[in-house]
């Protein structure tokens, strides 16, 4: 961190730094909204904000394909599905008097805080095996080739899993025939 600011930064590097920390702060605020807000629909909007922030982070990490898949899948499908579900079950979660958290608040906070303390202590002190990027970065073409060569088996399995999940969801949500 200290050696970062000793060297003179170009305007492009300043832009990267400022946008990273800005997006990170927005994502953390939105994530806190997801877990603390009483109105569950506002939580779903917070989840959409976190997904968009993650897409921006992917763009900063030169993963353009993943960024647009993230927007399509999360903001387009998952958050829409959750919003529908909130509206369908509104009578159960509606009203100011309905408690939104259970009795495990203190113990959960202690567990989460200890996990956080352990990792925040270990992450900066570990030496990561990073490489400086030279040559072509992985793009959509690289990913597509890898999916159809090295990862063909997991790719087929994940397709079957998605198909089974879709059929299972339809069967579960279907009204029982009289």
Residues 81-140 that bind other proteins (CB under 8 A): 81-82, 85-86, 88-89, 91-93, 99-102, 104-105, 108-109, 111-112, 115-116, 119-120, 123-124, 128-131, 133, 135-139
Instruction: Find the shortest distance in angstroms from Cβ 159 to other proteins.
Output: 8
Instruction: Find the shortest distance in angstroms from Cβ 84 to other proteins.
Output: 8
Contact 70, 51 (CB under 8 A): yes
Contact 40, 93 (CB under 8 A): yes
Q: How far apart are the first and last CA of the chain?
A: 66
Whole-angstrom distance, CA of residue 39 vs CA of residue 46 = 11
- Residue 159 CB neighbours (<10 A): 10
Q: Does 149 bind other proteins (CB under 8 A)?
A: no
| Interface of this chain with other proteins, residues 21 to 40, rule: CB under 8 A | 24, 27-28, 31-32, 34-35, 40
Instruction: Find the shortest distance in angstroms from Cβ 100 to other proteins.
Output: 6
What distance separates the 2 farthest-apart alpha carbons in the chain? 74
């Amino acid at each position: 961190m200290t050696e970062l600011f000793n060297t003179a930064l170009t305007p492009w590097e300043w832009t990267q730094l400022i946008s990273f920390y800005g997006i990170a702060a927005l994502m953390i605020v939105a994530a806190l909204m997801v877990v603390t807000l009483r109105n569950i629909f506002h939580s779903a909007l917070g989840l959409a904000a976190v997904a968009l922030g993650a897409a921006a982070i992917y763009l900063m990490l030169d993963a353009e394909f993943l960024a647009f898949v993230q927007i399509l899948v999360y903001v387009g499908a998952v958050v829409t599905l959750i919003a529908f579900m909130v509206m369908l079950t509104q009578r159960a979660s509606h009203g100011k008097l309905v408690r939104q958290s259970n009795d495990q608040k203190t113990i959960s906070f202690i567990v989460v805080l200890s996990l956080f303390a352990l990792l925040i202590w270990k992450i900066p002190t570990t030496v990561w095996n990073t490489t400086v990027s030279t040559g072509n970065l992985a793009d959509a073409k690289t990913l597509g080739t890898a999916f159809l060569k090295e990862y063909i088996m997991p790719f087929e399995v994940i397709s079957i899993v998605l198909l089974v999940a879709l059929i299972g969801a339809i069967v579960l949500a279907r009204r029982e025939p009289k």
